[in-house]
Structure formats: structure tokens, C-alpha cells
A = this chain, B = another copy of it.
Amino acid sequence: MRHHRDDVVRHAIVVLDTYGLADLTMRRLASELDVRPSALYHHFRDKQSLLAAVADELLRRGARPLAAQAWDEQVVELCSGLRDALLAYRDGAELVSTVIAFGLGASQPYDDLVTALAPARLGEELASTAARTLLHFVLGHTLDEQTHLQAGSAGAIGDDPRPRSDFGAGLGLVVDGIRLRSSRGVDARA
């Protein structure tokens, strides 16, 4: 059976969600596609590039249109949406963190945040710092959350499968810090 690049990415997401990032190996993915491992190198130059494509597809599937008008509400929406996208697939946060750390993809969330922050008039440098600080928070928090969620998934049935998260509280901390620096003031609207 012959595959396109997109088939490989789609199947990689299934393997990721079913077996986890540690078991998303080139050999395993190849065998699931009924193909020799070397065939994958026709579509991707190496594993990192494959993972970058998988991360981008995962983020694309989680993308939602912005409803809010004010920049600070848009920022909260973007960060919550990113968290939801990461939690939607097993090891999603770990995958996207890895890809971002390697700098090979998953740049959409950063770009979206910079765009949303524009009306806050922070200046180019501070806007970049703010966007990256938000991103570090969301990735770090969600990685923690997902790790512990999955660690507890062997627990009793009575366990709360999604204990009240302090995601909103932590995000509020950072957004307040940004709002203090907005030249549009505490009550700035887009």
C-alpha cells in the first residue's frame, strides 16, 4: 500500500494517542503502516521533522476562531484553546514542548499571541517577551497536568478524572502582569 505524507502524519497521531510519545518510533509507525522503516525517510528527512509535522497537525485540529474583542480576553482564549488542544491527545503537551524546544515548528501559537497582544501597545520587544512568557506557562502547566492525569489513570474508578485545575489562576497572574505594562491602561479594549 502506498502512502502520502499526510497519511503518515494522520497515522502518527493515532499511534501517539494510542501508545504515547515514547512508543511513537519510526519502526513502530512503519509497521503500523505496513511498510519498512526506511520508507518513512522518503516523506521526512528525519524523526524530528515528522514530529514537527505531527505537532502542527495537532495544533491545526485544535484551532478555534476568536470570540472575544478585548486583547486580554483574546489572550486568555488563545491560551485556554492551546491547553485544550494539547490535552486532546495523549502526550500532546510533551510533543509540542519538544518540537518548540527544537525550534522546528509549532510557531502558530506564538504568532497568534503576538497578534492578539498588539492592541496592548507594549512595544515589539515586550510583546515578544509577554508572548513567550505566556507560552512557557501554558506548556509547562499543561505538561504537569497531563503527566499527573495520565499517571493517575490507573487509579480507582471513583477518582475525579479531571480535578479542578489552577490553570486559570496561573494564567490570570501572568495576564495581570502584562496588563500593568499596557499603555492602554488596566481597562484597555482592542
Binding site for B on A (CB under 8 A): 94, 101-103, 125-126, 128-130, 132-133, 135-137, 139-141, 143-144, 147-148, 151, 166, 169-170, 172-178, 180-181
Instruction: Kindly state the separation between the CA atoms of A140 and B143 in the bound complex, as whole angstroms.
Output: 11
Closest Cβ neighbor of A138 among chain B residues = B136
Closest Cβ neighbor of A148 among chain B residues = B103
Copies in the complex: 2
User: Is the beta-carbon distance between B129 and A169 smaller than 8 angstroms?
Assistant: yes
Contact partner of A144 (CB less than 8 A), chosen from B101, B137, B178, is B101
With contacts A103-B147, A140-B140 known, is A173 near B94, CB below 8 A? no
Contact partner of A170 (CB less than 8 A), chosen from B101, B133, B141, B169, is B133
Instruction: Kindly state the separation between the CA atoms of A125 and B173 in the bound complex, as whole angstroms.
Output: 13
The interface residues of chain B lying within 8 Å CB-to-CB of A144 are 101, 132, 136
Closest Cβ neighbor of A103 among chain B residues = B147
User: Is the beta-carbon distance between A133 and B94 smaller than 8 angstroms?
Assistant: no
Known: A133-B174, A174-B174. 18 other contacts (CB 8 A): A94-B101, A101-B144, A102-B147, A103-B151, A128-B166, A129-B166, A129-B173, A130-B170, A130-B173, A132-B140, A133-B137, A133-B141, A136-B140, A137-B137, A173-B174, A173-B177, A174-B177, A175-B177
Minimum CB–CB distance from A168 to chain B (whole Å) comes to 10
The interface residues of chain B lying within 8 Å CB-to-CB of A125 are 166, 169
5 contacts between A and B (CB under 8 A): A94-B101, A135-B140, A173-B174, A173-B177, A173-B181
Minimum CB–CB distance from A14 to chain B (whole Å) comes to 24
Instruction: Kindly state the separation between the CA atoms of A144 and B151 in the bound complex, as whole angstroms.
Output: 27
The interface residues of chain B lying within 8 Å CB-to-CB of A141 are 132-133, 136
Instruction: Kindly state the separation between the CA atoms of A139 and B130 in the bound complex, as whole angstroms.
Output: 16
